Chains A and B, each alone.
Chain A
Amino acid sequence: MKKLIDPESELKYMFFSGKGGVGKTSLSCATALWLARKGYKTLIVTTDPAPNLSDVFEQQIGHKMTKVNWVKNLWAMEIDPDKATEEYRNRILDPIRKFLPIDTLKVMEEQLRSPCASEMAAFDKFVEFIGNTEFDIVIFDTAPTGHTLRLLELPVDWSKFIEASSQGARQTCIGSVQLLESAKEKYDRAIETMRDKNKTTFVFVLQPEAISMYEARRSMEELSTIGIDTGILIVNGILPDEQCTDDFFKKRRQMQEKYLKEIKGRFKIPCILVNLLDTEIKGLDILSKVGVSLFGDA
């Protein structure tokens, strides 16, 4: 287990996937803190819409790499996803604005507001860290989907693409518009890095429930179509046994057990269980407790 998150060898990047609300940010911050305390120079990057690293670390973070107070080796950075998407959109559209009919431009602008485009913008930010030698490990509290990565891998004929768009391919959420030829090589290298298990670990966060399980399976399968295997599962929100004294919670706890069994049977990868806490995960003390419960003593 430890080997998976120990950057001893080459490991440099970690991605946390999973639906909103399952605890990706808290768990990725706890992981970052744990690694920093082990002596690795660590950067945690979030693209969450709420600038919540400031909440978690109880200090102002922001769009820049910021040193986390009181912790040696830990830096954090918040990327505003709306701003990132807008920058991205402009970078794509600015060079071609004047060549496009106004209607086509409007359609493309809207397409570049899609969830896929936001994901692409976040990925774009990640690419900036590839090859970075300043940190031992970089953690992202969110991860691109298989669909995004497949799009990025496709060969694209830019001029044809605009032609098709102008003919009204508005039913798609065009991702590959972004694939300016010059960026292609950079993206290919980034995806190569993500595929390399010695360099990158994908972590999937889920809850012991039917729908969460179903979605985890789907996303993980999709990632595997691009050759990326998820390395660690974290099941969050487990009711602590000793707290379930009331019959009501005993029954809920049994339900969770049933799903845990199914999760362990279905996904053949290391699985870490994390108990529900009686507080929100904020502040270094709680984060460091969560880190220890995840990976053992630092």
Chain B
Amino acid sequence: MNKDVEDRILPKNETRYLFIAGKGGVGKTSIACITAVWLARKGYRTLLVTTDPAAHLANVLEQRIRDTPTEIDRVPNLWAANIDQEKAHQEYKKRILDAAKEKYSEKMTMTIEEELNSPCAKEMAAFDKFVSFILETDYDVIVFDTAPTGHTLRLLKLPTDWTRQIELSGLVSGRTGSIENVKEKFRKVTEIMSDPARTTFAFVMYPEATPILEAWRAAEELGNVGIHTNLIFGNLILPEEHCRNEFFKKRKEMQDRYIEEIKSRFNVPILKMLLLDSEIVGIDALTKASGMLYEDGGGLNG
């Protein structure tokens, strides 16, 4: 494995955090699972935290995953936790609405309720759960199969009156301690996330125009809050040896062109994950895929 990539994946003296970002459907969960299996096999105590809404994680890992770290059979050193986004979101909504009901009219509460159905509120709820995992230090590496957006982080950073804020929302706080503690916790988490020595922000995309552009915009937004993308996973890469007729040769050339574009735009190492002839399900398939992604070198490209 290329040293440059190694530096961005392997833990050193402290816990390493890997955030796998990207739009829905680009393969974040697969890449996160493959990566976690590989790290665990290398001997690092690894925690995989996912927010997989389709709950197919249980299929991929072939075992039931709880919302607290669950030991994975057949892979020593690997634990996984699946944040139930729906549940987290409901809890979060309830916390805010209960407070709001005491203060506002029914009409007003209805509006607040609908606003709490927004994708941003869902993301906040998930982030709230993330935070508790980020502060866990029992692991060498924690892999998150999703990442907060720049917008969420900016919102959380704003200098509002924390007292009122927390009074109404209970966000991030909720359970423990004083407002000072909450502020401190959030400060610590953002500090960790913007420290490249501890955190790696990786984007998953496939080599086509729209996915590249969407990732670029999201990465730019994160850059504005001091979080820099330092790794790219190029997914669904057509394997050259199977592209034998004109049709697939042309598609392959198209992909090559877009890979060049990814390189010049992002200017960070790219790991390429080949398209496979079957879905990646089960520990054996994951182990095999992790060999392809991290060991065979074929995918490696500075």
Contact = CB atoms under 8 A, between A and B. Distances in A.
Contacts of A50: 209-210, 213
Contact of B155 (A150, A170, A214, A278): A170
A215 B95 CA distance: 27
Interface in B106-129: 107-108, 110-112, 114-121, 124
Contact of B277 (A176, A251, A279): A251
Nearest to A209: B25
Interface string A94-112: 0000000001101100110
A212 B56 CA distance: 13
Interface stretch (A4-12, A57-65, A71-79, A156-164): A156-164
B111 A154 contact: yes
A227 interface: no
A243 B108 contact: no
B115 A175 contact: yes
Contacts of B217: 49
B169 interface: yes
A249 interface: yes
Contact of A249 (B111, B118, B154, B242): B242
Nearest to B213: A50
Contacts of A248: 239, 242, 277
B72 interface: no
A126 B24 CA distance: 26
A209 B206 CA distance: 15
B114 A147 contact: yes
A54 interface: no
A247 interface: yes
B206 A21 contact: yes
A240 B104 CA distance: 58
Interface of chain B, helix or strand or loop or mixed? helix
Contact of A107 (B23, B160, B211, B275): B160
Nearest to A154: B111
Interface residues of B, number: 61
Interface residues of A, number: 59
Given A21-B210, A49-B213, A172-B120, A110 B154 contact: yes
Contacts of B181: none
A164 B165 CA distance: 11
Contacts of A170: 155, 158, 160, 165, 169
Interface in A138-173: 147, 150-151, 154-157, 160-161, 164, 167-173
A207 B25 CA distance: 10
A260 to B, nearest CB: 15
Given A114-B120, A247-B277, A255-B279, A107 B164 contact: no
B10 interface: no
Interface in B208-239: 208-211, 213-214, 217, 239
16 contacts: A20-B214, A21-B214, A103-B160, A104-B160, A106-B158, A110-B155, A114-B151, A115-B120, A151-B111, A156-B107, A170-B165, A176-B115, A207-B25, A214-B53, A245-B245, A252-B277
